[in-house]
Structure 1
């Protein structure tokens, strides 16, 4: 058998001649009546704990203990335990050998509180010799000895001296040291605010009744208005004849451990107005008995609930809380002793729950769960009212949801009432607008991205980017600044759906190194001019990587170019970039120029191959520069022999127009006569065809 057993069987049959014993201890039987008279439960209680058992020897327990720990406050300083003890007497003569039951009050460190007042002890010898006269001899013998039992007793401990402290109430029961004679106890615990004595006095009455709290072993009343003992006043009640209002009486109470407390009561006129404080009202489901009402208890009052005024109709009960009520009016009579009473009424409302509506968001790529409230008997329907496949679940998975689709569920909620919910599905679509500011220069980190998401909502933006860049923020917008060039990815979530976008941050590619410094000179020339690209700023020329003092324009005049021109470089700034600079290639001498014929161009205004030159310089990939020529004459004819263009400017090409209008797509014939500026000045004649494609 277990050493700690929860007992829940209420009192039933205690007469063995009527069959099996129900709800009573099978060992505790009255000698005088033959009936079993120790209930397993304290009267009015639904549960108790049996500590120990009637088994002895090696299969039984030696001792059992239970501890109750509590932080003492003003609201729980009255600790009451109810117990019933069963002890088998083995007639041991040596103290401490018998079976026993004890209660000890200890602090958090295990020390006894209050000296002897903090403990109670009784053993089988004390039960047998009358030390505790409340023990009875059972006509059922124990193992090797007689059995004594104590019926249920209520013991109160005043813990007001320990408010703010943690105390432990330790219960212990044990067999005799030889494990031959058993001991066990039934316990039921309770705690609350220490109840002070009350008075019941009606105006005009010749007596008043004073009532002390129960659970103490001895009472001694004192007074009036002093601490003089009143002879014979040793019960929990005192009747005062010809009382005087406001007289003060005291009662000295002693608990089972011999601890004494003194409580005070003042005689008051209880004819004052009766008040009632409503604590809670629970609505009743339509047609069901699910309503409830509760009021704050006043110990001086008694209560009677009924369906009719003046305690008429059906009586529902006499406690402060009534359940199982239908919607409507319930009546209450509050009786203040024998003095007066008050009739009042309350309304138990009807809980006819209207259908509620929930808008349920879902993502287009996944299903959505519909969840009802707590309850039972669930029935699901689609938007047309057709029943869905039977299920009694509080949730339903829609695998392929449609925007604006509706579903319904009806069920009995946790209060027992019919409830229903309409679900409207809303597809969650995250729309994002972008504002991007790219970097204006190579290597800069001034770029920014501004995202705005809709519909207006709170989103979480999680960014990743180059070189381990991360950023997270919440809101309807997200702005990130001081960005280097590269790809930035943002995951946007509204806790239902998410969306990922990648945004490139770019920067200018800069001036390619293939752009060249222009050089124009012939063999044996002693001077030449170097020309850098025009239109920039902060030019600086270098000779063998050494800055040329004062050389800050787009051109530089040099001496002895045949020897030195390859040693020159130039750097410059491209606004708005303040640190961009380039070193460029140099052109060869004019006598070594290499040309390539052009056979197609596209004058369509896109600034790409819009102008025709018969030849391009292979080194610069640009038109043949006039600096290399002393004469130049270009003619262009249509396929019918009509001259449509002529020019003696080598820097000016044909724009594909004749008399201000673009010519038709087709093949055109050209003739070029030019003379090189170096050498012996040889004149060259060239011709060819070019295709015009707009």
Structure 2
């Protein structure tokens, strides 16, 4: 029985989390803890002598750097902490991340130590990220925070001499996209900068900083094209005041995210991050709006304005997210491992998470679409799969999963005697196939009789109802029968003869009448008539052989002799017949005892 459970979850989701988007903008957010995927550059003073600072104002990059050339202190991967120049109000890392990047050094001493001269701090740095705009994530979100040191009122600097920060969005030809107004941001240190706060104040300068700011760039019109994002920072041209920035970025889907589960009486609509907003109908100006008692089919429009003043418009039609969860499974033929395959269909949405309970007490597995699980034993398990959409809707299905034993057991007789038979048996499968079929009683079935006359290897294939097949081999060795030898004999009536057999270990004589014993290798035979004896000999392997021995009984002699009478003192001839040799007794008064 399959059970479905629908759950509507309207917990607000931060849709554009980094883990969901990095496939298209790998390490744009520095979450590998490195500059992998990024390149950069730096500017150095032009000669560092006289009054020609060079290298920063306007921001000037004269040395391009590969990934491996991006090193601290001018290019630094940051971990959680706070910037001391902002009175510890500015985090080193953008919200929601573990790593960000700092562009430029946050102390003039970092520069002067490695580059002494009249303008030790007049440096400039760049970070550049190039990627191909993907249709699934055409929105580029970047986050930046800026720290600019401004000379105090007694130390007048021209605007071109002050620290500054710049962002450029460029196509492959180096042109601003979609235009210079929308694809370019530039700010110079000043006491009246909008959105900037005051940090550390000294007798010669004031730190102005802008906390983390999120900006969205809609690149829908550039899908399939290469786009470059450049972040640049420059110090004071005279070398005494610093400028640096923190940056982070990621790619995201471009569209309004609707959080509306079937059966719900309210909706959450969320526009992409990094803009200002104007919703219609309603006139709301927040990134996210909440709608009670929604009417299916209603169209909502959001006008988005970037920090550079570019305007875009997005529409969405209200339709609930409906999840139809389902999965199939397949068992490994070698053990109790099950591979689950998701076939869920989601209307008006996409999946963000899967949770699995395999029904054997092993715990819940999350964030795996098609898991594999090994059970400890056969049985039927109620497997629970819950699918959650990007909008927070959930649905659950429970399907009984049957784990079977795909093992076929086979008896293994090792040898038989020539001329005998043996039973071959396989168990555990649904059907069986035996080969070679010659010398077998059948080619199918779990039990067959084998009568080979030579040693033979048999193969049995067992077929299971889940499509698995197991093949085993059985080797039957055929042992030869023992070769017996025994003597024949002839006797006179009433006498006996010894019969001696060899070639086996144990012997059985028949018929046993007129024999001294029915067993043993040697017996005494005293038949009264001609007799054929059958000897069965068994060797050490239990194999038997047969032979025969004949005892012939010669006929009894019929001897005749003449009788006579004589006078005293005379003699007579006695004549015997019927035999070959004769013995006369008593021999007294005979001319011979033989003849």
- TM-score between both structures, scaled by the size of structure 2: 0.44
TM-score (norm 1): 0.38
| Highest RCO, 1 vs 2 (Cα 8 Å, sep ≥ 6) | 2
